[in-house]
Amino acid sequence: MKIKPVFFILPLLSFQWLQAQSFSEGTFGRYLVALQDITKIEIPQEQGNALNTFIKKHWVVVGQREHATWNWFGRKSWWETIYSFDFRRLDTEALGLSQKDFVEKQELLKQSWADNVKKEWPTFVENEVAASCEVYSILPLVYGGPNEWWNVMPVTSAQHDEVLVLKVLTELFP
């Protein structure tokens, strides 16, 4: 009895999180681009890499989607794995502790951000008075965003209000 070889064509998996975490694609990427547009401050690659590393720990598989095309040789299909964030709101006690820690560390976060980005923490003029920019958490504290230099960004109070109404922010963190 002659055994015929059997060949299996394995579907090509494309991992959406690899694309979504680049600065140009996906919901998180759109959020970062909008944040940079509002603040006029570019997120450096090192800071983006640290954010991506943290976020990769919070991705979960939510499904798969088949893609199919036809050519002269027949049907060709591949599967795309769809990922989503697994961020959950902190309970009242945990949020209170995180906010207390955030308030206590604000000056340290500003200095750490400035050291790592190699820029001074910006100031702005409002009503003819110079003021230091606020510390904005890119990943919100209420969703477990850490009090680390790579999770903060300088914003004016007006920019802070503008960021909070971004549609893409509510898509990420409802």
User: Rounded to 5, what percent of the chain is helix, strand, coil?
Assistant: 45, 25, 30
Count of domains in the chain?
A: 1
Please indicate, yes or no, if residue 6 is contained in any of the structural domains.
Answer: no
Please indicate, yes or no, if residue 5 is contained in any of the structural domains.
Answer: no
74-85 and 13-15: which strand pairing? parallel
Q: pLDDT by residue for the chain (174 residues), tens digit each?
A: 444 443 333 333 333 333 333 333 477 788 888 999 999 999 998 898 888 888 877 766 666 666 666 666 666 666 666 656 667 788 999 999 999 999 999 999 999 999 999 999 998 877 777 788 899 999 999 888 899 999 999 999 889 888 888 877 877 777
> Domain limits at 70?
13-172
Q: How many residues does the chain have?
A: 174
